[in-house]
Amino acid sequence: MHGFCLSNGKHGDSFKIDAVIDKAEVNMLVWTVANQKGGVGKTTTAVSLSGLAAEKGKRVLMVDLDPHGSLTSYFGENADTCTESTYTLFEKSKILTPSAVGNVIHRTKYENMDFIPASTALATLERQAIGKDGLGLVVAKTAELISDRYDLMVIDSPPLLGVLMINALAACEQLIIPVQTEFLAIKGLERMVHTLNMLGRSRKKALPYLIVPTMFDRRTQASMASLRQIKNDFSERAWAGKIPVDTRLRDASKAGVPPHLYDPQGRAVTAYRSLLKQFQLNEALPSDATSSFGAAAGA
């Protein structure tokens, strides 16, 4: 098992976290949605893909690792007051059991969609992680313990590079990177790719990832130019499609309803359906789907 060392430039501290797990131990698929820039559509992408997979009969568990708790709020919970959350997994990391994980899973009112909410206490983990080994594998261990209960786990990662994002990356087989089609978001994408290159040196093999252009507005030159830059600079890793600007996504979030149920024929939902097909979830079984991910992501 390899280690991955992060440094905190402000305090000069560093901590080492183990960042590799044998994916053969996990039967369900594990996807992470991440970017080192906020506001690019991570939570919307996580909920949209989860809902569409659930629609196909897949048992989906969403995991909110962001202290801001956007996914948690989406389903009516409050990260400020949530007592059974992803933070609980880290508190009990030395004694995690399937029962302990089950206690933090919350049901939604939508078929095949469960989630583990976030707590604002997650923001304290960075300092707690200094000098400790093993905290980078908490979510991976969680996935292993409940892999027989779900077909797909979708992790909503925070934008900060630290123990939470490393957990999200260490646990997954497929990384999805939403990128808003604007200049500053592309800069965030460059930082994310740099992080993946660092992580790749600590893993047995590179992590497949797919860049997903989001919030595309064909009416603006800036959006058009940014899309071209993404396609040119990351051609082998960029999804051929794009997620358009669609106010119905905001409406769905406000209503707490997965987009595919709120507006089944909407422009953004149609695009997300196409994205899901990229991963061939509808044909692939959990045991053989990993190979299709590599091809889909251009790995």
Strand 3-8 and strand 13-18: pairing? antiparallel
Q: How many residues does the chain have?
A: 299
For Cα atoms 136, 142, 145, give the angle at the middle one, nearest 5 degrees.
140
* % of the chain residues with pLDDT over 70: 83
What's this model's pTM, rounded to 2 decimal places? 0.86
pLDDT in tens, 271-296: 999 999 988 754 443 433 333 333 33
Determine whether 130 is exposed, middle or buried from the number of CB atoms within 10 Å of its CB (0-12, 13-18, 19+): middle
d(C-alpha 50, C-alpha 98), whole Å: 22
Q: What is the DSSP string of the chain?
A: --EEEEEETTTTEEEEEE----GGG--SEEEEE--SSSSSSHHHHHHHHHHHHHHTT--EEEEE--TT-HHHHHTT--TTT-SSSHHHHHHTGGG--HHHHHHH-EE-SSTTEEEE---GGGGGHHHHHTT-SSGGGHHHHHHHHTTTT-SEEEEE--SSTTHHHHHHHHH-SEEEEEEESSHHHHHHHHHHHHHHHHHHTTSSSPPPEEEEEESB-TT-HHHHHHHHHHHHHTTTTB-SS-PBP-HHHHHHHHHT--HHHH-TT-HHHHHHHHHHHHTTTTT--TTT-HHHHHHHTT-
CA distances from 271 to 32, 48, 63, 93, 294 (A): 19, 10, 23, 38, 21
Task: Output the average pLDDT for the chain.
Answer: 86
pLDDT score at 8: 41
Name the one residue in this structure whose structure tokens are 């097909």.
Answer: 277
User: Quick one: which of 155, 73, 60, 180 has its CA closest to 120?
Assistant: 73
d(C-alpha 172, C-alpha 143), whole Å: 9
Radius of gyration of the chain (CA): 18
User: Quick one: which of 229, 225, 226 has its CA closest to 180?
Assistant: 226
pLDDT in tens, 11-36: 334 444 444 444 445 579 999 999 99
For residues 102 and 128, the model is more confident at 102
For residues 41 and 187, the model is more confident at 41
pLDDT band at 188; cut points 50, 70, 90: confident
For residues 198 and 104, the model is more confident at 104
